[in-house]
Structure 1
Amino acid sequence: MKSTALVSSLLLAQCLALSSGTASAANKAPRRTRQGDYLNRLLRRSPLSEPSVAGAAMEETVVSTTKTDRRAASAVSREQGGGPRGEAACRGSEFAQYAGYVMVDAAAGRALFYYLPEAIGNGNSSSKPLLLWLNGGPGCSSLGYGAMEELGPFRVMSDGKTLYRNPYSWNHVANVLFLESPTGVGYSYSNTTADYSRFGDNKTAEDAYLFLANWMDRFPEYKRREFYIAGESYAGHYVPQLAHQILRRSSPSINLKGIMVSLHTVVHQPQRHHGKILLHTYLQNVSFFSDHLWRNWTDYDSTVLPIIRDLMENNIRVWVYSGDIDGNVPVTSTRYSLKQLQLPVAEKWKNFYTQKWRPWFSSTKGTGEVGGYVVQYKGDLSFVTVRGAGHEVPSYQPERALVLVQHFLAGKTLPDCKNCGQDY
């Protein structure tokens, strides 16, 4: 069984990130600049100091240290089989953070690990939506990749030991729930050995749904809150399949409004990702790609397009995004997939814009900055490209990714440049 000390260590590391990261960097000799250091330079021109479209959501950020301790309130659910005593909380920064396990099969001893950084700002966690993030693979960790390398509140410096704040973290606009899924990914585990050879799309969706239902019993304030699911790569399967489970089960607690994915729709087998990430000090040499899981993946849909269509028919907002230099899930492949849906361009779109495709802008200052291209189809499906982004869009283009998710959650069209040079 996983040690509960792990959860406390992870949260403690992140609580100390602001104070220790700056001090340790100042006391070290100069070293060769690497990717983490380049990313850190985003702080110099972040929306926190230079407001932009994305920055509007950040201008009222304040420190919140008065949040009621929910661990006592959730003790009953843990005693009733909610999961091992692995929940930890951290409130020493601008937002509360929680991490722990939720049991999805008590008989098998199968539990999934989550990390929740709530929305930044006093009172924002109660007013912002809940966004579930899933990485793909199959076998990629949503903690190691999504939270620590892409859209979470912290990034890892190139020394592998020091954390620093990500100025474009998505908890500026939502409460973000990172889930290690399925069993065997990251810190999620089972006490039944056979579970590690039963991997597939259906089981992943079923366990993710059970996780959500049980997690909301532990966090009842999120019941009936606006809920969205987002992910990348093979999560182009996970996300719509989980959304489909939610629709089928008609849970009154889960108020699903929309999904946002890089559409990994037409495949013959799961795609392998060779990268591994080790965060040596804080995350104790845990690999964030499960090669064993990928090799034993036997159940997968050849396409999720019928599910996408069903979601649209049930008024679920669908945004499909793609980095325009992504070689794994390229724009061309996604366009061919969406073409199979045979969707007409939305009437309001045709009446307003003369082109099927039109640029969207991540900044409307001066002459504007193109963030990518977008088209909206009938049935509330939008396809968005992100300029200069590869497979992990929030890692390549964090500011543009934040503008993207901000407008997705608000249900607003991405900015054009008709107001360039003016306040948007």
Structure 2
Amino acid sequence: MSTLKWVLALHLLISLFDLQRISVCCAASYEPTPQQKLDRVGNLPGQNFNISFAHYSGYVTVNEESGRALFYWFFEATEDPSSKPLLLWLNGGRYLKYPFLLFITWPGCSSIAYGEAEEIGPLHIKEDGKTLYLNPYSWNQVANILFLDSPVGVGFSYSNTSSDLLNNGDIRTAQDSLEFLLKWFERFPQYKGRDFFITGESYAGHYVPQLSQAIVRYNAAINGKAINLKGYMVGNALTDDYHDHLGVFEFMWSAGMISDQTYNMLNDLCDYQSFIHTSASCDKILEIANDELGNIDPYSIFTPPCTNNVTVPNKLLKRLHVGHVYQRYDPCTEKHSAVYFNLPEVQNALHVIKEKAPSIWSTCSDQVNENWKDSPRSVLDIYSELIKSGLRIWIFSGDTDAVIPVTSTRYSVDALKLHTISPWHAWYDDGQVGGWTQEYEGLTFASVRGAGHEVPLHRPKQSLTLVKSFLAGKSLPTLKQVSDS
């Protein structure tokens, strides 16, 4: 090549580099929209530390006619948010029909209360219910995180039409969540086209694949990509009523928590029952099983439950060493959220509309779960559809959860009859077994050792390793990989 051609080629490369640098610069200095400025959250009550990331909260109206509006809280990534994907987190529900009743998971709980304040979010709440601390394992280290209180009636989400709260169900929840996202991207246009992932747990085992399906079908209908959905991941997820029940009963029996007689009656009376609408005979044997279970936390069978009258011995509290700060596993995190988010100054800082706020904010809504209208017995058909679409799909399971245990999830995954790509093996975190995993054609399953229903609450470091691998589309680390590093 002649000298002139070398010079021209070099000049072209420099020009392309400059254009790329300008593009990155401009993306990083994007001018916020007027509504973004209004939604920007400043220093929160009880926050006695500085943070390196911006966060926003507010409402998006998803139905103008009835006045349905969903509340969100959005955290940009800790570093270089313009280069990070966008991740939506959805929480499902808790058992609410009977005190401490296992086996039933209901919709109607706040993603702000659980996902943000005690699991993957950056701002967690101390025992006094008034002071915040920074979560060292927050997922906004690897992504921009969007928390959504869905459906209406959950958390701070509201409707001007009271009957809306009596007519929630899976179908409308997916439709409203899709409408929320389309409008949210208009409010935050700098995230349009960004790689987008959906995650969640528990009853979000319905929400997440249903919303993913709605997005895929919407994109196909407009012959474009209004939302650049790349994949989804769910944990301890309600998936298929038959397999979920089968796995729950087997898990409890094998762990020695229920009698042989109760185990057999559960299988006889509750087979093929809906988790949302059970029969009277099934309910009766569930109550017997609950009595046999005793006063433990079925969401995490080896950690102490939260009680008002019992002091938990320090030796039972899981301690995590983070720099010079010691954190302990706290079984009462839900109660701390109930204190914090009821503070008027907190609601004001989060732009909660005073006239629309519930008289008493609660982590879960009895009204929503008791009036749930539609819930399919299985979402495995959605998995089959979305696997064919090429989405990245992961399922994870904390292996000390008795509500939707690892046995239930494995039965559901097996029912998909997928071809195995990488057989069952242990994955590692800092040289220790983090859990076990198997990769299939179109789906990855991973268990998390020692984690309960809320995996990021019980195993925060391992859950961060999990989401890093998921977002990167890479296998979870093996012992060989750990040794090589």
* TM-score (structure 2 length as normaliser): 0.66
1:249 is aligned to: 218
1:152-167 correspondence runs (5 A): 152-167=121-136
Residue 282 of structure 1, CA deviation: 4.8
For 1:271 and 1:96, the matched residues in 2 are separated by 42
Give yes or no for contact 2:428–2:482 (8 Å, CA) kept in 1.
Answer: no
For the pair 1:219 / 2:286, whether they are aligned, the reply is no
Question: Pick from 12, 32, 49: which aligns with 1:70?
Answer: 32
Residue 271 of structure 1, CA deviation: 9.1
For the pair 1:130 / 2:86, whether they are aligned, the reply is yes
State the SS of the aligned residue for 1:259.
Answer: strand
Q: 1:334 to 1:282 in 2, by over 3 A?
A: closer
1:12 is aligned to: none
For 2:39 and 2:371, the matched residues in 1 are separated by 30
2:248 is aligned to: none
* TM-score (structure 1 length as normaliser): 0.75
For 1:299 and 1:108, the matched residues in 2 are separated by 20
For 2:409 and 2:451, the matched residues in 1 are separated by 15
For the pair 1:337 / 2:412, whether they are aligned, the reply is yes
Q: 1:68 to 1:220 in 2, by over 3 A?
A: closer
1:106-255 correspondence runs (5 A): 106-121=64-79, 124-137=80-93, 138-250=107-219, 252-255=225-228
For the pair 1:269 / 2:275, whether they are aligned, the reply is yes
State the SS of the aligned residue for 1:319.
Answer: strand
Q: 1:271 to 1:239 in 2, by over 3 A?
A: farther
Q: 1:281 to 1:243 in 2, by over 3 A?
A: closer
For 1:199 and 1:73, the matched residues in 2 are separated by 28
Q: Which runs of 5+ in 2 are unaligned?
A: 1-27, 44-49, 94-106, 242-273, 279-298, 300-305, 307-331, 344-359
Q: CA RMSD in A?
A: 2.1
Give yes or no for contact 2:91–2:204 (8 Å, CA) kept in 1.
Answer: yes
For the pair 1:303 / 2:261, whether they are aligned, the reply is no
1:27 is aligned to: none
2:400 is aligned to: 325
For 1:67 and 1:271, the matched residues in 2 are separated by 51
Residue 298 of structure 1, CA deviation: 1.6
1:400 is aligned to: 462
Give yes or no for contact 2:36–2:56 (8 Å, CA) kept in 1.
Answer: no
Q: Percent identity, please.
A: 49
Q: Which has the larger radius of gyration?
A: 2
For the pair 1:375 / 2:434, whether they are aligned, the reply is no
State the SS of the aligned residue for 1:418.
Answer: helix
The AA in structure 2 aligned to 1:344 is H
1:69-108 correspondence runs (5 A): 70-72=32-34, 87-90=39-42, 93-108=51-66
Residue 252 of structure 1, CA deviation: 2.0
Question: Pick from 339, 355, 376: which aligns with 1:280?
Answer: 339
For 1:236 and 1:88, the matched residues in 2 are separated by 31
For 1:281 and 1:323, the matched residues in 2 are separated by 27
For 1:396 and 1:199, the matched residues in 2 are separated by 31
State the SS of the aligned residue for 1:203.
Answer: helix
The AA in structure 1 aligned to 2:433 is V
Question: How many residue pairs were aligned?
Answer: 333
Give yes or no for contact 2:33–2:188 (8 Å, CA) kept in 1.
Answer: no
2:244 is aligned to: none
Residue 281 of structure 1, CA deviation: 4.0
For 1:399 and 1:168, the matched residues in 2 are separated by 6
Q: 1:111 to 1:421 in 2, by over 3 A?
A: same
2:425 is aligned to: 358
State the SS of the aligned residue for 2:373.
Answer: strand
Q: 1:413 to 1:171 in 2, by over 3 A?
A: same
The AA in structure 1 aligned to 2:39 is E
State the SS of the aligned residue for 2:480.
Answer: coil
For the pair 1:384 / 2:384, whether they are aligned, the reply is no
Residue 67 of structure 1, CA deviation: 6.0
Give yes or no for contact 1:119–1:171 (8 Å, CA) kept in 2.
Answer: yes
Residue 74 of structure 1, CA deviation: 5.3
For 1:385 and 1:281, the matched residues in 2 are separated by 32
Higher relative contact order (CA 8 A, sep 6+): 2
1:82 is aligned to: none
The AA in structure 2 aligned to 1:362 is D
2:247 is aligned to: none
State the SS of the aligned residue for 2:66.
Answer: coil
The AA in structure 2 aligned to 1:87 is D
Q: Cα deviations across residues 221-241 of structure 1 (Å, max 9, x unaligned)?
A: 111110000000000000000
Q: 1:410 to 1:132 in 2, by over 3 A?
A: same
The AA in structure 2 aligned to 1:416 is T
1:258 is aligned to: 231
Give yes or no for contact 1:373–1:386 (8 Å, CA) kept in 2.
Answer: yes
Give yes or no for contact 1:234–1:271 (8 Å, CA) kept in 2.
Answer: no
For 1:398 and 1:240, the matched residues in 2 are separated by 24
For 1:310 and 1:281, the matched residues in 2 are separated by 41
State the SS of the aligned residue for 2:465.
Answer: helix
Give yes or no for contact 2:428–2:478 (8 Å, CA) kept in 1.
Answer: yes
Residue 338 of structure 1, CA deviation: 1.1
For 1:271 and 1:369, the matched residues in 2 are separated by 41
For 2:400 and 2:463, the matched residues in 1 are separated by 14
Residue 206 of structure 1, CA deviation: 0.2
Residue 421 of structure 1, CA deviation: 4.0
